[in-house]
Amino acid sequence: MAVDMIPRLETRRLILRGWQAADFDGFAAIYGDADVMRFLGPVQSRSDAWNGLARTIGHWALRGYGTWAVERKSDHALIGRVGLINPEGWPGLEVGWTLARAHWGHGFASEAASAALSYGFLTQSVDRLISCIDPGNHASQAVAWRIGEQKGPRQDLVVGGQAYPVDIWSITRAEWERRSGAGQG
C-alpha cells in the first residue's frame, strides 16, 4: 500500500492522514521526548525514530492498516500518531496512541483513538480490539476507558527482546456496536 493510499479520517478537530516526509522532524521530536517515552520504552535517537517511522509506514503495506499521522485542523500541526497496531507476536489488534507532550490533556488522544477504533471494527473482521497499556500509565488508561475499553489481564509484552508488563484493555465488537449504535438498523 503506497503512503498516499492510507485512508484519511476526520474528526471534529483532527485529521488522521498518511505520513509525509515532512513529518519526520515532528515524529523524531515526539519519540525523543523522555516524558512521552516514559511508558513506551527508551527515548529514541533520530536514527531510531527514522527506523520507527519506516516501520510505521511499512505496517500499512504489510497489514493493510496501521497508525495515522494526527494533524490538528486549526493549525495543521502534527500532534502524534494514532491507529491500529499488530506486529508479529502481538496479543491482538491494538488501538494505540502516542501524542506530543504539548498536546496532552486536550482530549485529542480520545478523539483520534475513537475514530481509529471505529475504523478497526468497520474494516477488520475481529471480535475485539485491545490496547496494551503500562500499569502506571494512568493517562492512557483514562483514554482506554473513554473509548469504551475495559481493563483485562496483565501480561508481559516482549519488544526488542525486553519484556514490558502491560494491562490488556479491550472492547468487543458487540460492546462497540451497542455504544456507537453501529449495529442498529
Q: How far apart are CA 114 and CA 103, in angstroms?
A: 17
Edge-to-edge strands, sheet with 162-172: 9-10, 14-17, 67-72, 78-85, 94-99, 128-133, 162-172, 150-159
Count of CB atoms situated within 10 Å of the CB of 82: 29
pLDDT in tens, 109-150: 999 999 999 999 999 999 999 999 999 999 999 999 999 999
Least confident of 22-26, 65-69, 80-84, 159-163: 159-163
Closest C-alpha among 129, 110, 111, 130 to residue 121:
129
Inform me whether the pLDDT recorded for 21 exceeds 70.
Answer: yes
Measured torsion, CA atoms of residues 86, 152, 100, 108, in degrees rounded to the nearest 10: 100
